[in-house]
């Protein structure tokens, strides 16, 4: 397979843009090797500043105070029409547990029954790589006892949270979507973000499926099955955090963790119609996350609603570093989102419109809605050298992936790796040191371009993907898939968030003619997570009433 990589690269060299725009380009800027950002006093409207040194559960309590109040019991709430979508939130589960209308054990049993059903041969949704019923029930029993004694740890106590199988979570191995990595690299402790969720009482629901080694955008995995899109089981869920997006979409968990190295949280979130949130590089700890791409990847959040993203974010944010290295944590006061004024949205029209007609129309309509309801202004801008940035990111993430895995790959039979990932690794391993160094020069150059845009705009807005979920090909299920046309369309708008370490969020704004979700993305200044969450919440409230329910959907708060 190393030969295949070189042959593929030779073919590409006939018109090799990596050579033309990266390796052989004259770039005046010095290299910038990380995407971390210095402390900046970013002005944000309607935020609550949390005190340093709070525990995860205490931060969650601060976040709850920022949420809009809904007084009715979830089990007494009006049932929407069968075709419309109602997602239960963390607060809904917490109220149901506190009132005694249901318990974490009852919800866990419904969850496990649903996982068993959708994992069987009839549905074959392949959401999870591993899920231990005994462990899930044990956690739920402990949570139920805390509610019975009036001592829940937080509103997340008893709430199911799934974890991408790229993040350490006991008692499971971390496979990275492979058959071999869990044995070669034993999981000895929870990742930092998982430990924080556990400290809040969350029930860790299992390890979700993913594209093998995160090296693809479809979520097709020849080893563990291909996670299917709950809106249409014949379509991809997106990658690489495919299972995490799909379980939230299907109602199995209000929140899941993913890892985002090239849109791998936000892309599947958009394809599955859920919220995908990647904070600023350095805002979350990477301890216990597979080090597949050091300078572009980090953990992220997939959630059914923006409110749940806020709560989960407050739980897992890393406040262990000195305050001079990063700003203190601002949480958005979603109760006052409608009063936010003078938000400026930067739109690069040529880039924005490089998407399907349904996506362009839907996303433009969403921006018009924000202008009509809030008076927020859209500014025309240019983002220079987008193709150069995409290629530089590709060289960077590929080089870092092969370097991080070298000690394993040198001893591994290539037959243990899917065909698509074998080819990808062959291409990654062919990148030169000159290509890598020039990519970091381009990172520095792009950082300047984006900072210039943020001098006049608060966020950059774009579709999240250029296409909606595409069809799963039967012959790809056992081999993996290299679909560079759809892959390029899916990743088109993802790069700045990773390559430049900027915070970014996607929220569903509608559906295409086939009923598949469409996501709109907002990219913010460094450390401006609260502003992004405000804008995403406003967008959610304006668009969510017309969302249709997925074909595969479970109501875990239903009465038995």
φ, ψ dihedrals at 377, nearest 5° = -95, 140
| Whether residue 207 lies in the annotated active site | no
- Specify whether the CB–CB gap between 301 and 277 falls below 8 A: yes
Using CA atoms in the order 142, 133, 479, 220, what is the torsion angle rounded to 10 degrees? -40
287 touches 315 (CB < 8 A): no
Pairing assessment for the beta strands 255-260 and 160-164 based on DSSP bridges: parallel
Round to whole Å and give the CA distance between 101 and 41: 45
How many CB atoms are located within 10 Å of the residue 488 CB? Answer: 13
Q: How far apart are CA 193 and CA 287, in angstroms?
A: 8
Q: Which one of 35, 94, 130, 164 is the catalytic residue?
A: 164
DSSP 455-495: TT-SEEEEES-SS-PPBPPGGGTTT----HHHHHHHHTTTH
Residue 38 lies in a domain: no
The number of distinct structural domains making up the chain is 1
pLDDT digits (tens, 9 = 90+) for 428-444: 999 999 999 999 999 99
User: In which element (H, E) is residue 506 found?
Assistant: strand 504-511
Q: Please state whether the predicted TM-score (pTM) of the whole model is above 0.85.
A: yes
Q: Is residue 8 part of a domain?
A: no
Of 252, 247, 248, 177, the closest CA to residue 215 belongs to: 177
In-domain check, residue 42: no
Across the range 456-462, mean pLDDT stands at 97
Query: Tens digit of pLDDT for each residue in 391-421?
Result: 999 999 999 999 999 999 999 998 999 999 9
- 372 alpha-carbon distance from chain centroid: 29
Q: Which CATH number do you get for residue 425?
A: 3.90.1300.10
User: E strands along 123-250, which residues?
Assistant: 128-130, 160-164, 203-208, 228-229, 232-236
Asked whether 251 and 87 are in contact (CB, 8 A), the reply is yes
Query: Considering just the CA atoms, what is the radius of gyration of the chain in Å?
Result: 22
Q: Is 459 a member of any domain?
A: yes
For the question of residue 242 being annotated catalytic, the response is no
* Candidate list 35, 143, 240, 244, residue with the active-site label: 240
Is the pLDDT reported for residue 44 higher than 60?
yes
* Residue where the block lists tokens 């025309």: 380
Q: Is residue 553 part of a domain?
A: no
User: Residue 530 — φ and ψ, nearest 5°?
Assistant: -60, -40
Q: What average pLDDT does range 131-138 have in this prediction?
A: 98
Mean pLDDT (the chain) is 94
- Note whether residue 2 is domain-resident: no
DSSP SS3 for 3: helix
Domain assignment of residue 285, given as a range:
22-30+51-67+86-544
- Backbone dihedral angles phi then psi of residue 112, each to the nearest 5 degrees: -65, -35
Buried b (16+ CB within 10 A) or exposed e, 325-355: ebbebbbbbbeebeebeebebbbbeebbbbb
What are the pLDDT digits (tens) for 525-550? 999 999 999 999 999 999 988 899 99
Give domain status of residue 264, yes or no.
Answer: yes
Q: Is 98 a catalytic residue?
A: no
CA distances from 44 to 47, 54, 328, 457, 525 (A): 7, 21, 12, 13, 11
User: Is the confidence at residue 76, as pLDDT, over 90?
Assistant: no
* H or E stretch covering 4: helix 2-12
Residue 467 falls inside a structural domain: yes
Catalytic residue among 35, 218, 264, 494: 264
Confidence tier at 16 by pLDDT (50, 70, 90): confident
């Amino acid at each position: 397979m190393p030969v295949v990589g070189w042959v593929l690269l030779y073919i590409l060299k006939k018109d090799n843009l990596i050579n033309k725009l990266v390796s052989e380009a004259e770039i005046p800027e010095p290299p910038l090797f990380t995407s971390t950002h210095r402390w900046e006093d970013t002005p944000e409207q309607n935020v609550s500043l949390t005190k340093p040194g709070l525990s995860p559960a205490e931060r969650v309590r601060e976040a709850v105070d920022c949420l809009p109040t809904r007084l009715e019991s979830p089990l007494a709430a009006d049932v929407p029409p069968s075709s419309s979508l109602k997602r239960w939130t963390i607060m809904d589960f917490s109220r149901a547990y506190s009132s005694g209308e249901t318990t974490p054990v009852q919800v866990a049993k419904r969850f496990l029954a649903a996982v068993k059903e959708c994992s069987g041969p009839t549905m074959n949704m392949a959401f999870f790589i591993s899920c231990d019923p005994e462990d899930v029930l044990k956690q739920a029993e402990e949570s139920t006892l805390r509610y019975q004694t009036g001592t829940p740890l937080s509103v997340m106590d008893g709430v199911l949270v799934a974890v991408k199988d790229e993040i350490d979570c006991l008692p499971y191995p971390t496979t990275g979507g492979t058959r071999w990595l869990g044995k070669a690299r034993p999981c000895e402790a929870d990742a930092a973000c998982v430990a924080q969720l556990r400290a809040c009482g969350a029930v860790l629901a299992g390890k979700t499926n993913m594209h093998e080694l995160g090296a693809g955008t479809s979520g097709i995995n020849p080893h563990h099955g291909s996670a299917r899109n709950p809106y249409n089981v014949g379509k991809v869920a997106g990658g690489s955090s495919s299972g995490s997006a799909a379980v939230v979409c299907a109602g199995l968990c209000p929140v899941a963790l993913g890892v985002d190295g090239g849109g791998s949280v936000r892309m599947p979130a958009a394809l599955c119609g859920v919220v995908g949130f990647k904070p600023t590089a350095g805002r979350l700890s990477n301890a216990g996350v597979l080090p597949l791409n050091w300078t572009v990847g980090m953990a992220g959040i997939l959630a059914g609603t923006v409110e749940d993203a806020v709560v989960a974010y407050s739980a897992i944010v890393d406040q262990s570093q000195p305050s001079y290295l990063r700003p203190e944590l601002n949480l958005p006061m979603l109760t006052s989102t409608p009063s936010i004024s003078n938000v400026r949205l930067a739109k690069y029209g040529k880039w924005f419109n490089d998407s399907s007609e349904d996506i362009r129309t839907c996303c433009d309509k969403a921006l018009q809605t924000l202008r009509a309801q809030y008076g927020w202004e859209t500014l025309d801008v240019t983002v220079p050298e987008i193709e150069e940035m995409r290629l530089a990111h590709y060289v960077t993430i590929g080089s870092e992936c092969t370097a991080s895995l070298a000690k394993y790959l040198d001893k591994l039979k290539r037959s243990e790796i899917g065909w698509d990932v074998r080819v990808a690794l062959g291409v990654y391993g062919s990148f030169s040191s000159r290509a890598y160094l020039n990519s970091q020069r381009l990172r520095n150059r792009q950082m300047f371009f984006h900072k210039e845009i943020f001098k006049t705009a608060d966020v950059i807005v774009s579709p999240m993907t250029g296409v909606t979920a595409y069809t799963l090909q039967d012959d790809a299920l056992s081999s993996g898939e290299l679909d560079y046309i759809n892959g390029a369309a899916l990743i088109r708008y993802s790069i700045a968030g990773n390559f430049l370490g900027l915070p970014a969020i996607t929220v569903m704004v509608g559906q295409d003619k086939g009923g598949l979700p469409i996501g709109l993305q907002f990219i913010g200044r460094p450390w401006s997570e609260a502003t992004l969450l405000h804008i995403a919440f406003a967008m959610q409230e304006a668009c969510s009433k017309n969302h249709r329910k997925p074909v595969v959907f479970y109501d875990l708060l239903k009465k038995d």
